[in-house]
Structure 1
Amino acid sequence: MSNFKKFKTNHKVRPDDIDMFNHVHNSKYLDYVLAARYEQMELYYGMSMEKFLELGYGWVVHKVHIEYKRPLQLSDTFEVETGIVDITSRGCKVEFTITNLKTNKTSTIGWFYFIMINLKTGKSISIPEEVVKLYSI
């Protein structure tokens, strides 16, 4: 599988996102991507995180890579674009780009590798075929 769609979600920097250097703290960028994926699961894949939980599934972060290009600052509005680039039997790789909408410049790029787990056991499981089909858009 190689053709997956990318989706965009907009957010605004909040005062509690700012660190002592007067820009967004590095950890907040990861939060921005996770918040965008949470929203996109329901809007674009048709299966919310709540539905995953009801079915006894969860997604956990196995690996993450992030490159900071330009800082976001207070009140900046930004776009988080994410998209699956690979699905394996037990996980998926999601790339992301965060763009400052005021300057239209890339702030951050990177990827997450998520593993699907069984919530009862906490162990990784094979991704059910119906989930692979939902994500293969």
Structure 2
Amino acid sequence: MYKTYETELRVRPDDIDMFNHVHNSKYFDYVLAARYDQMERCYGLGMEKFMARGMGWLVRTVYMDYKRALKMSDYFLVRTRIESINDKKCKVHFEILNKATGKTCCDGWFDFVMINMATGKGIAIPQDVIEHYVDSKNCIAESE
């Protein structure tokens, strides 16, 4: 029901840890950066539109399965897709692949909840937002 989108990124020097590969915490950042890009570019519903409505997305739960390391200057693809969405949460599956090898470096999922920006408290995801994500006609660019 939901399309998969991808964003290409590159490992930066400050992503590298003392073991000479990407630090595990950076994979979290990579997924969030890709989602930020894809929300606007692929769904036409960027974070600024949520903020204008006084709403924001908050990470509730994350599961990451590390499979192989990314290293300095590697190009990689972050593929994401909504797995499910309802008035309580949005579950997003992700996969990070080394562009040169096509092999998965990390995969997993994020559970996002909607918050009221003024109070910081959780709110129901509005029906128009759910419908926007479900309606594939709203999508601007699909990955190959």
**TM-score range relative to shorter protein:** over 0.9
Cα displacement (A) at 1:44 = 1.1
Q: How many residues align?
A: 135
1:124 to 115, 122, 125: 122
Cα displacement (A) at 1:4 = 0.7
Cα displacement (A) at 1:20 = 0.2
Counting aligned pairs with the same residue, the percent is: 56
* Distance (Å, rounded) in 1 between the aligned partners of 2:98 and 2:39: 23
Q: Is the 8 A contact 1:46 1:134 kept in 2?
A: no
* Distance (Å, rounded) in 2 between the aligned partners of 1:53 and 1:62: 18
**Mind listing any 5+ residue stretches in structure 2 that lack a counterpart?**
137-144
User: Could you state the TM-score of these two structures normalised by the residue count of structure 2?
Assistant: 0.92
What amino acid sits opposite 2:24 in the alignment? N
Runs of 4 or more, structure 1, over 6 Å off, are none
* Distance (Å, rounded) in 2 between the aligned partners of 1:77 and 1:60: 27
* Distance (Å, rounded) in 1 between the aligned partners of 2:132 and 2:74: 33
Q: CA RMSD in A?
A: 0.7
**Mind listing any 5+ residue stretches in structure 1 that lack a counterpart?**
none
What amino acid sits opposite 1:16 in the alignment? D
2:50 to 35, 49, 52: 52
Deviations along 1:90-125, one digit per CA (max 9) or x if unpaired, are 210000000001111100000000000111111111
Cα displacement (A) at 1:88 = 2.0
> 2:70: which partner in 1?
72
1:101 to 94, 99, 102: 99
SS in 2 for 1:85: strand
SS in 1 for 2:68: coil
User: Could you state the TM-score of these two structures normalised by the residue count of structure 1?
Assistant: 0.96
SS in 2 for 1:45: coil
Q: Is the 8 A contact 2:86 2:130 kept in 1?
A: no
